[in-house]
Amino acid sequence: MEAENLITYARNAREYAYAPYSRFKVGAALLGKSGKVYTGCNVENASCSAGICAERCALSKAVSEGEREFVAIAVICDLKGPCTPCGICRQVLAEFNPDMQVIMANLVGNTKISNISELLPDAFGKANRLHG
């Protein structure tokens, strides 16, 4: 799937964001190895830590539907530059594929493409665990 198509899915998902506190709406579209696209948006809560980012929303939907392998994710928001995943989202995405392509975009068409391992070098992972 082309980056532009994945960005379109993310842009559409952004419209469903629940952001009454920050008014900062984010959309994400996660491409599974199966070819299926899973979308997500940020969902805020008065208890800030209870909210969820768009990327983790999409990933949770995918995992809950049985998808475990991912190729790419697009993230979009209203910033001057491309929207980058937060550190927690980078770590969660790295769990599934450190080489996953990350397509970062804003509403006016600026994009940047990278991968998780470039965005989060030396991510904590299964090899770092003491047990198991």
pLDDT, tens digit, for every residue of 55-92? 999 999 999 999 999 999 999 999 999 999 999 999 99
Bridge-based pairing of strands 111-115 and 101-106 is: antiparallel
The 10s digit of each residue's pLDDT in 106-119 is 999 999 999 999 99
Say if pTM beats, i.e. exceeds, 0.85.
Answer: yes
Query: What DSSP designation does 120 have?
Result: S
CB 27 within 8 A of CB 40: yes
Handedness of CA 106, 109, 110, 112 (dihedral sign): positive
Q: What is the pLDDT of residue 125?
A: 78
Confidence at residue 104, expressed as pLDDT on a 0 to 100 scale: 98
Could you please state the CATH topology (level 3) that the domain comprising 3-127 is classified under.
Cytidine Deaminase; domain 2 (3.40.140)
Residue 95 among the catalytic residues: no
Is the Cβ–Cβ distance between 12 and 39 less than 8 Å? yes
The amino acid at 123: A
Tokens of 60: 């949770």
Strands (E) located in the chain: 26-32, 37-41, 70-77, 101-106, 111-115
- 84: buried, middle or exposed (CB in 10 Å: 19+, 13-18, 0-12)? middle
* Annotated catalytic residue, options 55, 69, 95, 118: 55
